[in-house]
Amino acid sequence: MSTQLLIYERAVPLSSQRHKGWSVKTGADYAFARQVNSVPLVAVEFPHAAAEYSIVFAGNDEAMMPVVILGMRENENLYLNESNAWTAKYIPAFIRRYPFVFSSNEDQSTFTLCIDEEFAGYNQEGRGEHLFDADGERTQYLENVLRFVNDYQGQYRRTQLFCKKLQELDLLEPMQAQFTLNSGQQLRLAGFKAVNRERLKNLSDEQVAALFKTDELELIYLHLQSMKNFSAMVEKTAAHIADHQEAAKPAVDEAAAPSKEELH
C-alpha cells in the first residue's frame, strides 16, 4: 500500500487488536516537521495560506500538487521556533492531520486509516486521547480524526483535478528562485512550477469563464499573489543563518583573555 509520507516514519494501519489501550497526545510541539522545507496544500486552503506562504506546484505530469514553501534550504523549516512551535497563524492541514494518514491499495479503491507509531505523543500512559474504548470500539476522538482525514482525502482529489486543468491549459512552467543575501551568500530554490501570467492572459474568453465559474481562477490569482512571500522567506533565511552563526561562535574564556597590559 502507498501512503503520503514525508513526515511519517512508520505508518501502521489502525486496529483495535493492535492499538487498544493506546492514546495520542497532540499539542504545540511540531518537532516532527522541522526537517521539511515544503508540504502539500489542498485547494481549499489557498485563501488561508496565501497570506503567509509562497504557494507553488511540484511533481510530474502524472502527479502534480500545490505545495507551500517552508524553507529555502533542504531539511529546513523556517516556520518553527526554538521551542518547536509553529510561528505562522495558519498551519497546513497536511501538518495538522499528523500522526494520522490514509494508505491505499494500488488502484486507490480502498483507503485505510494509519497512525505513525514513531510519533512522540503516541503512548500507553493514557496521555491525551484514547483511540479505542474498553470494548475495542472507536472513541469519539478517533471518529473525528477519521472524518478529518476523509475530508482531507476528498479535497486532495479535487486539488488533483485542479492541477490537471492547469496542465491541460498549459499554464504551468518550470521556475526557480535565486536570491542573494546581504552577506553575499546565494540561495537557489528549484524543482517547482508556477502559472505563467502571459499564458493566462492568452486564454480564450470561454476558458476564463469556465475557470471563474469553478472558482479555479481565484485559486490561480491567490497562487500568483502568494509568490510575493518569497521576499519574507529570504529575510527569514538570513535571520536564521545569522542566529546560527552567532550561536556557533566560541565563548571567550575571561580567565584566559589577555589583560590590557598584555595587549600593548
- Are 95 and 189 a contacting pair, CB within 8 Å? no
Which residue ranges in the chain fall short of pLDDT 50?
1-4, 251-264
Write down the pLDDT at residue 148. Answer: 96
Write down the pLDDT at residue 262. Answer: 38
Write down the pLDDT at residue 249. Answer: 56
| Letter string b/e over residues 63-91, b meaning 16 or more CB atoms within 10 A of that residue's CB | ebbbbbbbbbeeebbbbbeeeeebebebb
